[in-house]
Structure 1
């Protein structure tokens, strides 16, 4: 608590906004695919989700570019305004007097559009107002808050989504209005572009060209993609494996089959993060970045590999525990390293560039599911081990290159 109270006011407010925003969205967001499928069919739903994902990715890049040209606050306010309009449309489209799935999609499209537009500026602001002494703590706390919010939001969604969608959407709108008000009245600008940056006015392509020539950061991006391929399989191959291979068992009279085992796996992961994140953070606070990244990556990757080899209750529970411990060690260290690698004048652009990792990792994870037909669960486990080794090598090479760059810079000064 003492560490939290010493944080910059913007960081405290940002953590509060994370809780409000994630809680509001998670009450409906994860179930909207079911909603679209029910009203529009699987084929149209798939197309709509692709359109939304691609658009969000592109606007995220552009938002990061603008955050470096005009500062963070204007981008946050514009993105928040778009999200509020989207939430309002979604509410009106599911009111007692009017229901329309197409305008509901428009509302959620704008909601995600606004979020993606301001995401890079939001992440850049965290880096602006934090430093190396508290950044890892901030990322750990933020990660913990996200998991708590999702847990409560998902619980509300599971119980209320079918019969009280309108009320949940009203809650989402209120959450967006609260966050928008906080940004407008209490969040101050954290980055003022230098006169040189304003004068040069690099184009979108030129700005991201600078990032593309940063070899250390590009290698880090490769590491992020590899990490997301590993963890992404909690949504890709793991459900397939448990559905096909899990041996149904009975625990205290309660039948556990594949789908329920997946739910328990995910619930255990979330609950461990909620109740153990502070302890793990304190335990590893004096670890070097290299040790944290290597240990976290190995535990997370090998935990997933073990899960793909197991088909019974106890071994899968143990695999979930190992994977989660690795995740808790890896995530804050990785996010802190990401911040350290960014050019201070182009943090928004760098943050926007990170968004490229999600679609690439999703394609690779989806491809692994397709190839699993030929290589089976043993082959997928081997792939996880190989990806984990590559991830560790990438992180270590990034740290080596960063150290060399820091030494060279210190000599020049």
Structure 2
């Protein structure tokens, strides 16, 4: 029997679900919309600027979460995120006439999200106990995947004719979510004392401990490289399908490139939600190292080949293959990497680990930019080579020689 969850945990999980739903039904489709306005080169540059700014915001967000009250940080930047969605909606409504406002709104979304995410993660961690922590993070993982499936479904089917309504409703929902979260969350945190008058020095010291651990850095780099394969789905592959996929009719439902992208994401999420425990049971009696290695190889090759094919009869099996690889490797990586974190340095290590996702976003955005110059086959090779290199880094990091304790 599961122990009853606290009010803070329930509030945070619901907020996490709705926040992921808002993101998944808006931002990936905004990128596709921008790709219809700008050339692939400019679209890739816009995405890369967003990734770099979000990367910087994530670093700053981790520092702010340790230095100030997290509840206040959450309200400020969750509200900013909602206002950026409203800015985009006003542009679609014609109140703001320049397409440049879409780009500004997109950038503010990325910056705001990454400024509050470290505080959000810290609140969830603080609200759990060793007894319920595994259960809570398992529930968050499931909720995240379910929200992504719903979000991509909603966004894919409303993209062509109801884009204004989609962004307007999500903007209002995000603003209400920020307000509701503040009212229901009963939380205060101790703040770290500033060691220097210069906040930049404090910020750098916050990450110095983890950055000195070569084995941890290698793991984070490897995760960035192989995650770039999946992240390319919403950047390069999504834009390519929107332009190259020949519309078909399936069970009397028209399927264009955008809807094909939604279908792939939904397949991935449904498989994750339904078969996580089954795949885990099938692999638990086998070598953990082998499950991670072969799982990542399937994952990388699956997403890499999705970047080049246009047939639904090939894309769907490839997505199933990639998802099986994800289910075989991801839980084992998440469980194993905890062993690399010193007990007295968890905050620094966890904050540093979030950089792997920003790095993956940057690599995926680079693939979108390169797509304006080179063929899909070369981009596919780029994704696979990076992913296999990342796989090797992860295996070396997790199963290499024991790390010497940091001084």
* TM value normalised by structure 1: 0.74
Contact 1:90–1:107 under 8 Å retained in 2: yes
Q: Which residue is 2:321 aligned to?
A: 322
Q: What is the aligned partner in structure 2 of residue 344 from structure 1?
A: 346
Give the count of matched residue pairs.
Answer: 401
Which residue is 1:11 aligned to?
9
- Structure 1 residues 357 and 11, CA gap change in structure 2 (3 angstroms): farther
Query: 2:92 matched to 1:90?
Result: no
Q: List per-residue Cα deviations over 1:101-121 (Å, max 9, x = no partner).
A: 344443443333211111222
Cα deviations by residue, 1:258-316 (Å, 9 ceiling, x for unpaired): 99876654443233224323544566678886465335324323545676898977665
Q: Name the CA shift for 1:278/1:96 in 2 (closer, same or farther; >3 Å).
A: farther
Contact 1:82 1:114 in 2 (8 A): yes
**TM-score after normalising by structure 2:** 0.75
The CA RMSD over aligned residues, in Å, is 4.6
Contact 2:248 2:254 in 1 (8 A): yes
CA distance in 2 between counterparts of 1:163 and 1:244 reads: 17
Q: What is the aligned partner in structure 2 of residue 357 from structure 1?
A: 359
Distance 1:393 1:271, change over 3 A: same
Structure 2: runs of 5+ lacking an equivalent: none
Partner of 2:215: 216
Q: Of 170, 185, 188, which aligns to 1:187?
A: 185
Report deviation, 1:332: 3.7
CA distance in 2 between counterparts of 1:125 and 1:286 reads: 35
Within 5 Å, which residues of 2 pair with 1:228-307? 228-234=227-233, 265-280=264-279, 290=289, 292-304=291-303
Deviation at 1:366, TM superposition (A): 5.2
Q: Which one of 133, 150, 158 corresponds to residue 152 of structure 1?
A: 150
- Alpha-carbon distance between aligned partners in 2 of 1:298 and 1:60, rounded to the nearest angstrom: 29
Deviation string for 1:196-248 (max 9, x for gaps)? x5446752233333332121220111221221233345457767999999999
Partner of 1:206: 205
Alignment CA distance shift 1:269-1:125 (3 Å):
same
Taking the aligned partners of 1:39 and 1:308, their CA distance within structure 2 comes to 21
Q: 5+ unaligned residues in a row in structure 1: which ranges?
A: none
Cα distance in 2, alignment partners of residues 205 and 115 from structure 1: 21
Bigger CA radius of gyration: 1
Q: 1:250 to 1:81 in 2, by over 3 A?
A: closer
CA distance in structure 1 between the partners assigned to 2:368 and 2:100 by the alignment: 27
Over residues 99-154 of structure 1, what are the superposed CA-to-partner deviations in whole Å (9 max), with x where a residue is unaligned?
55344443443333211111222233344444666555544433332332233223
3-state secondary structure, aligned to 1:203: helix
Cα shift at 1:15: 2.2
SS of corresponding position for 1:33: helix
Q: Which moved more, 1:198-207 or 1:300-309?
A: 300-309
Is residue 125 from structure 1 mapped to residue 123 from structure 2 by the alignment?
yes
